[in-house]
Amino acid sequence: MTKFTKALLFSAAAAGAAALVLNQLDFDAAPAAPDPGFPGPNPDDIAEEDVEMMLNELASQL
């Protein structure tokens, strides 16, 4: 076989293997739910005033 034919067959085999692997993955899966055991408020939902108050409390402890 020529080098070109070998390269073409190898490329096709690699593309087929990649397609089989990617077909098994679920890219549309829902994100994992946040850990309910984590104590405290959600950092994304804290108001700016509350952040300032917590930072002031932390600074007074230091």
Q: Is residue 48 assigned to a domain?
A: no
Q: What pLDDT, on the 0 to 100 scale, is given for residue 57? A: 93
Threshold 0.75, pTM exceeds: no
Q: Per residue in 3-52, pLDDT tens?
A: 989 999 999 999 999 888 888 876 776 777 766 666 777 777 788 888 89
Output Rg (C-alpha) for the chain, integer angstroms.
27
Q: What pLDDT, on the 0 to 100 scale, is given for residue 38? A: 67
> Which residue segment(s) compose the domain that 20 sits in?
1-27
Measuring CA to CA, which residue among 25, 24, 45 is closest to residue 34?
A: 45
Handedness of CA 35, 43, 26, 8 (dihedral sign): negative
Domain count for the chain: 1
